[in-house]
Amino acid sequence: MELKNKNVHFEDLGQMEYGPCWTYQETLFDEIIAQKRALRNGDALASTKNYLLFVEHPPVITMGKSGAMEHLLINDEQLRQKEVSFYKTNRGGDITFHGPGQLVGYPLLDLDHFFTDIHKYLRLLEEVIILLLADYGLSATRSSGETGVWLDVDTPQARKICAMGVRASRWVTMHGFALNVTTDLSYFDLIVPCGIYGKKVTSLATELGRQIALDEVKERLKYHFEKVFEAKLV
């Protein structure tokens, strides 16, 4: 009988540059993969770990595996002038921005402990954000064919509040979601967000017309993550 480990080690990294954070993710990811390769019986599955990392990055633009360089609207010199870093990454999805006031979450989960279905995994990540936004009175939803969380889908006012992009191997996940809380949205003018033309980006503070404490949002997100994934943060 397989033993499922739904304990998720939580770590708030605070403010951290994208590069070192990506390296840290890869280290944890590789450790989990190595553990799985070494397994010889079902009971040993309980030894593989899960993680949830929270972080706030300095201004950085990242491009996923399906990204197109034409979705980056400025050149290298302009990036330097604006002090914005740029990385091509191994996550899914197109191009996005991370910066101060944005809550970035990186779940590194062994889905053998939960369910082996990446589509379901993405839908549950979206559900965590949808439930969190409902706490603030916002009716958020999904947009067909566009991973992430949106407001006023299928209207001219459609706008994205949370972007998502993940990588998975041997049912282990990395990368994750980026929720705009008090983010300076002008940075998104430097890109075609997620490669989607003609749709806007928003933040929790913009929608509510007031500043929101990032720590408050973190606690609500942790609560909903535990409920939706039937996990325990430790």
Report the catalytic residues. Answer: 194
Residue 94 and residue 192: Cα distance in Å, rounded? 9
CB 46 within 8 A of CB 3: yes
Rounded to a whole number of angstroms, the distance between the first and last alpha carbons of the chain is 24
Q: Which of 103, 154, 111 is CA-nearest to residue 133?
A: 103
Residue 11 and residue 52: Cα distance in Å, rounded? 6
Using DSSP's 3-state secondary structure scheme, residue 176 falls into strand
Task: Report helix angle 214-229 to 118-135, nearest 10.
Answer: 130
For 154: left if phi > 0, alpha if psi spans -120 to 50, otherwise beta; the answer is left
